[in-house]
Amino acid sequence: MDDLTSRDDEKGRELAREQGRQEEQKLQLEREKATEKGRKQGLDEERARTKANDREKPTGGWGMGIKIIVSLVILAIIVAIIALLTLSVSVTNASTSYAMPFTTNYAVTFPEGQSIAIGNSHMTVLSYQNELISDIDGNRQKLVIGEDRVISERRAVITTFGVIKLMDINFQINLKYKGDRDNVAYFDMAIHTSQQVPDALLKQLLPAEINAQPM
């Protein structure tokens, strides 16, 4: 009887140990699954961060490129403004005569009785009845409507920033008297130059006191 009881106890203990091993294996398997799941989740999160960074990089690079372009445009505008403000013209008598195949025409007005500087020449006009008395550097000449007056060949050097030479040209001005009204004398002006000169630079030869409109 004791032997039967002892064997039953032993079987019970063996069964308990077997159940314990199974439970332990089951727990181990669950731990491994949890570990694998965590590892996969970590990899997925890392991939998601990488993709997000990849999407952001082009945007950041494009934004930097826009900033650089805007900065260059602003710098170019500032340089252009400074160049315009420092634009200057030096006019002297021409030491060498050149062919002047380029002509720009303006319709201009001169206020009467006022000395106007055109380059290094000074011109004054004053009407009397149907005539106009024109004085260029002390040389007086009467004009009637349709007659010409010439400002002889000069040399003009156009610079900016004080030292950068933009153009070095010879020019001559022809004025055709068109009549006067309200103490203002009207002329057709033809400026002949040895080189093609942009209108913005050519107008640097003309004083602010006269109104010059391209023809």
Tens-place pLDDT, residues 96-109: 888 999 999 999 99
Residue 168's pLDDT band (boundaries 50, 70, 90)?
very high
Question: What's residue 49's pLDDT?
Answer: 73
Q: What angle do CA 95, 99, 100 make, to 5 degrees?
A: 105
Tokens of 43: 């990899």
Question: What's residue 5's pLDDT?
Answer: 61
Higher pLDDT, 87 or 114: 114
What mean pLDDT comes out for the span 162-178? 91
Return mean pLDDT, the chain: 83
Question: What's residue 24's pLDDT?
Answer: 73
SS3 91: strand
> Could you write out the three-class secondary structure of 119-188?
CCEEEEEEEECCEEEEEECCEEEEECCCCEEEEEEEEEEEEECCCEEEEEEEEEEEEEEEEEECCEEEEE
Query: At residue 2, does pLDDT exceed 90?
Result: no
Bridge partners, 186 (sequence order): 109, 179
Taking only the tens place, the pLDDT of each residue in 172-197 is 999 999 998 888 999 999 999 999 99
Integer angstrom CA distances of residue 72 from 10, 83, 85, 198: 92, 16, 20, 25
Q: How far apart are CA 69 and CA 86, in angstroms?
A: 26
Question: What's residue 84's pLDDT?
Answer: 76
Q: How far apart are CA 214 and CA 100, in angstroms?
A: 19
Question: What's residue 55's pLDDT?
Answer: 59
Tell whether pTM > 0.85.
Answer: no
Question: What's residue 53's pLDDT?
Answer: 61
Residue 21's pLDDT band (boundaries 50, 70, 90)?
confident
Taking only the tens place, the pLDDT of each residue in 130-158 is 789 999 999 999 999 999 999 999 999 98
Query: At residue 59, does pLDDT exceed 60?
Result: no
Measure the CA dihedral 180/184/187/189, to 10°.
180
What mean pLDDT comes out for the span 159-168? 87
Question: What's residue 1's pLDDT?
Answer: 55
